[in-house]
A and B are shown apart, each in its own frame.
Chain A
Amino acid sequence: MNAEAQKMDASGFNIELGLVPAGCFVSTVRRFVEEGLEKIIADHDLVYRISMAAHELLENASRYSSDRWVSLRLSADRPGDDGEGSAEITLRNESTPENLAHLQETVNEIAQAGDAMMKYQEMLRRSSRRRDGSGLGLIRIRAEGEMSVSVTIEGNQAQTIAKVDYRTGAAR
């Protein structure tokens, strides 16, 4: 393989974006992520799950960011010969103590749920009675996206991570 071909034959899809304001660009970013992932992953369902998670995390972060600035980092492996790889999406944003506490509480609740689909149904029921926000983004990533969700809070900054280890049939 020549040098030019090697440049085109990426071992993964890695991006880092800072967005201000992020809200109106969420769908643009999702489409960009989807297009990038499709170049390295043949499994369309997996591509959907990762790009959906990027959308939900970015939307959450932009909605609750206190200074409107949001950072998104995505790293996805091209599946190896055995089809294995992983993808991780990291969102960083500043927020108020109340919003950060609520974020931590939601992530804990989802992490402690034994059955993600049952928890999803429970949270859909709760959402139907909510007036403000859906409260569904993170559980959708866990249940529909089959990805783990974690959060680290330091001071007024949240770092939310969604991760998936995969074994697909083939790489692109």
Chain B
Amino acid sequence: MSEAIPSVRSDDFSAEAAIAAHEIKVRMTGNADLVTKPLLDRFLGDLHSEAARRKVPEVIVDVRPLEFMNSSCLKSFVSWIGTLEEADEHGRYRITFLSNPAMLWQKRSLHALSCFGADLVHVSSLDP
């Protein structure tokens, strides 16, 4: 848990971050839909600020337990990646998604995000 990146939680969704020396680990669970979007935007904003401040080389986003993500929340990730692309070289970090092959939205949507983010975004498919 990190005070710099406050966890967000609703009835159906949660996101929390843990900061280590060379990376920030994020775990998201539940269901990311329209109700969740304001929480997700706030969380990703705090996450980016802290990752840039600490100059971490990598942010790992574990979405394996995340049941679904709608297009509004996908847009939140697209905006995050867009912000990262615009950062100077020293403010950039790599985003690695940990995905669960059993969650079918992840295969298709994370592939789209990895194409969009090119070298900045990677997807690792792992068992939950």
Contact residues of A with B, CB < 8 Å?
23-24, 26-27, 30, 44-45, 48, 52, 55-56, 59, 63, 117, 120-121, 124-125, 127-130, 133-137, 140, 143-144
Contact residues of B with A, CB < 8 Å?
12, 31, 33-35, 68, 70-72, 74-75, 78-79, 81-82, 104-105, 108-109, 112-113, 115-116
| B72 & A134 in contact (Cβ 8 Å cutoff) | yes
Given contacts A128-B78, A143-B112, contact A59 B12 (CB under 8 A): no
Tell me, in angstroms, the Cα distance from A73 to B59 when the chains sit together.
Answer: 41
| B82 & A129 in contact (Cβ 8 Å cutoff) | yes
Q: Which residue of B lies closest to A137 (CB)?
A: B71
Given contacts A125-B116, A127-B78, contact A45 B33 (CB under 8 A): no
From B34, B74, B112, B115, contact of A26 by CB (8 A)? B34
Tell me, in angstroms, the Cα distance from A141 to B71 when the chains sit together.
Answer: 10
Given contacts A26-B34, A136-B75, contact A56 B70 (CB under 8 A): yes
- Name 22 interchain pairs, CB-CB below 8 A, sorted by A: A23-B35, A26-B33, A27-B12, A27-B35, A30-B68, A45-B104, A59-B33, A59-B72, A117-B112, A121-B116, A124-B78, A124-B113, A124-B116, A127-B75, A127-B78, A128-B82, A130-B75, A133-B72, A134-B71, A134-B78, A136-B72, A144-B109
Tell me what chain B mostly uses at the interface: helix, strand, loop, or mixed.
Answer: helix
| A55 & B70 in contact (Cβ 8 Å cutoff) | yes
A57–chain B nearest beta-carbon distance, Å: 11
Tell me, in angstroms, the Cα distance from A125 to B113 when the chains sit together.
Answer: 10
Given contacts A121-B112, A125-B116, A128-B79, contact A56 B71 (CB under 8 A): yes
